[in-house]
Amino acid sequence: MKDKFKSLFSPFTFPNGVTLKNRIVIAPMTHWSSNPDGSVSEIELKYYARRSAGVSAVITACAYVTPNGKAFHGQFAADRDEMIPGLRKVATAIQQQGAKAILQIHHGGRLCPPELVPDGDIVSASAVPAERPGAETPRSLTIQEIEEIIDAFGEATRRAIEAGFDGVEIHGANGYLIHQFFSPHSNRREDQYGGTLEKRMSFPLEIIKKVKSVVDQHAKSPFIVGYRFSPEEPETPGITMADTLVFVDVLANQGLDYLHVSLNDFRSTPRVGVEDFTKTRIEYLLETINGRVPLIGVGSIITADDAKEALETGVDLIAIGREMIVDPDWVQKIQEGREDEISIVIFTDQQEELIIPDGLWEQIISRPGWFPVKER
């Protein structure tokens, strides 16, 4: 490989002692390809295996932790013990290629389609619909239900441990339930889970505490626990960069193995809530974290030079999403000095060659601009 890319391939060790072989991980990406009952399909296993050889870790698509948390058709489940054998196959498919396997655990909250949850009963922090066409008004969760969902994140973690995963990532980003509790748009509660900024942190912090306690109880070897968050949201009122910096300051002291910021572009700058809008979100986050916990950066990393630039911001790891679907050999090509051969477009006859499940392929083809798609 070229000397300028050597930093991408230096090992990295998490606070718990688990070492990754390089700085490149696969970002969690929905693939719409599990069986209708939430069990793992054969095409999923092939999809993950095809993309796991070069990277140091794979963060899976999100797995729902309760039946009323399913947010996608073709989403896989971690809500009951009969899912463990399938989850074990996912972990094994990834690990056999030399990467660590991290299961992302999730509840969709108000973004769940009614047809995917029992009795169409959509729940959230408060009875406030999302700002999008046709959004359902959710039901506000009771205190008992909140406690049950916190326990469910713990149980999903236990299943991940029993299935042989190397870690879990708590999905607190992208508008789903944990995000909904932190957001002043979706959380209008006046109890211990809402009102002030500090109370809006309670739900995610209790989930982290529960997950870590389950790891302490059940994991026989070091087990990674990460947390993903979105730094801002467009709604008014909504999460601001200032809110997130307060939250991240607290998250950095929770004994997590990493934080993972969800961004469309690692170069992006804040919308509101800071004094200097020329500084990037990554710069603000790294200043706040101040070395207390590793940070994964993601967003618009397409070329080897993008990856080098992203790592040079000071993040510890970089997560590659769409590009690992476009070119599953992305990492190996950089490692072998063939970065000029990296594919940056998908051709319409490549589904089988790239091992892209039907559900994901349909989304790629039907959403112009999401992926760079061309006909030959």
The CB-side HSE value for 188 (13 A sphere, CA atoms) comes to: 11
Of how many residues is the chain composed?
Answer: 376
Q: How far is CA 104 from CA 65, 190, 214, 342, in A?
A: 10, 30, 16, 28
**C-alpha of 18 from chain center:** 19
Amino acid at 267: R
CA neighbor of 260 nearest in space, from 239, 285, 235? 285
Please name the residue ranges forming H helices in 52-196.
84-95, 143-162, 177-182
Dist CA 68 CA 177 (whole Å): 11
Burial 44-79 (b: 16+ CB within 10 A, else e): bbebbbbbbebbbbbbbbbbbbbbbbbbbebbbbbb
**C-alpha of 252 from chain center:** 18
For the chain, the first-to-last Cα distance in angstroms comes to 30
Dist CA 244 CA 229 (whole Å): 9
**Residue 136, burial from CB neighbour count under 10 angstroms (0-12, 13-18, 19+):** middle
3-state helix, strand, coil split of the chain in percent (to 5) is: 40, 15, 45
Bridge partners, 368 (sequence order): 371
Q: What are phi and psi of 123, to 5 degrees?
A: -125, 160
CB of 26 closer than 8 Å to CB of 57:
yes
From 48, 64, 176, 193, active-site residue: 176
- Whether 176 is catalytic is yes
Query: Which H helix or E strand runs over 295?
Result: strand 295-298
Dist CA 86 CA 125 (whole Å): 31
Residues catalogued as catalytic: 176
